[in-house]
C-alpha cells in the first residue's frame, strides 16, 4: 500500500490538535521512477518533486516554514526493510495554522499536483516540540 496524501480522518485529527504551537513535520519520500502526470507530462519522479519544491517553496516560506534538516536515507536499521526512501527531511512551521494555511492556499493546490505525480510512497509525521536537554527520555 502506498501513501501519498492524508486520508480525511487523519487530516481531521491533525486539525483537532493545537494550532498555536510550533510543529515539526518529519517527511519520508520515495519517488516514482517516472512521474504520473494526468496530462501525460514526461518527467522522472525526482524531477517532478523538484518542480513541486520550486512551485510550493514561496508559499512554504511565506507561512514561515523552514527546513531544519534534510538527508538521504541509506539503511533502515530498525523497522521494515522494504520501506525505501529517496529523501527525508524535517519541515518546521511556526504553528500548525501555518501548515493549514499553506495546504489550503490556491497556488499550493496547483503546485501539489507535482508532488502527487512524483511520489510513490511517503510518510508525514507531525511532531510537537519538547522542552529539555539533549538527554533521552
Kindly state the percentage of the chain with pLDDT values over 90.
78
User: What is the distance of C-alpha 117 from the center of its chain?
Assistant: 14
Q: Where are the domains of the chain?
A: 24-128
Is it the case that residue 136 has pLDDT exceeding 70?
no
Question: Per mean pLDDT, which range of 47-51, 73-77, 87-91 is the poorest?
Answer: 73-77
Angstrom CA distances, 122 to 4, 5, 12, 107, stand at 6, 8, 19, 22
CA atoms of 76 and 81, how far apart (whole Å):
6
**Could you give the angle at the alpha carbon of 100 between the alpha carbons of 46 and 59, nearest 5°?**
55
What pLDDT, on the 0 to 100 scale, is given for residue 110? Answer: 97
Residue 94 makes CB contacts below 8 A (sequence gap 6+) with: 22, 63, 64
**Fold designation for 24-128:** Alpha-Beta Plaits (3.30.70)
Kindly state the percentage of the chain with pLDDT values over 70.
96
pTM to 2 decimal places: 0.90
What pLDDT, on the 0 to 100 scale, is given for residue 133? Answer: 67
Is it the case that residue 52 has pLDDT exceeding 70?
yes
**Could you give the angle at the alpha carbon of 88 between the alpha carbons of 131 and 111, nearest 5°?**
105
In this predicted model, what pLDDT tens digit does every residue of 91-125 receive, in sequence order?
Answer: 999 999 999 999 999 999 999 999 999 999 999 99
Amino acid at each position: 500500500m502506498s501513501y501519498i496524501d492524508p486520508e480525511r480522518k487523519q487530516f481531521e485529527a491533525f486539525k483537532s490538535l493545537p494550532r498555536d504551537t510550533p510543529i515539526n513535520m518529519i517527511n519520508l519520500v520515495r519517488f516514482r521512477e517516472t512521474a504520473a502526470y494526468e496530462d501525460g507530462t514526461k518527467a522522472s519522479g525526482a524531477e517532478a518533486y523538484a518542480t513541486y519544491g520550486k512551485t510550493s517553496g514561496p508559499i512554504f516560506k511565506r507561512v514561515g516554514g523552514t527546513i531544519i534538516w534534510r538527508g538521504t536515507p541509506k539503511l533502515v536499521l530498525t523497522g521494515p526493510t522494504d520501506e525505501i526512501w529517496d529523501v527525508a527531511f524535517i519541515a518546521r512551521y511556526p504553528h500548525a495554522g501555518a501548515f493549514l494555511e499553506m495546504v489550503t492556499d490556491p497556488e499550493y493546490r496547483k503546485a501539489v499536483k507535482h508532488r502527487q505525480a512524483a511520489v510513490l510512497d511517503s510518510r508525514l509525521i507531525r511532531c510537537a516540540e519538547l522542552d529539555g536537554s539533549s538527554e533521552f527520555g
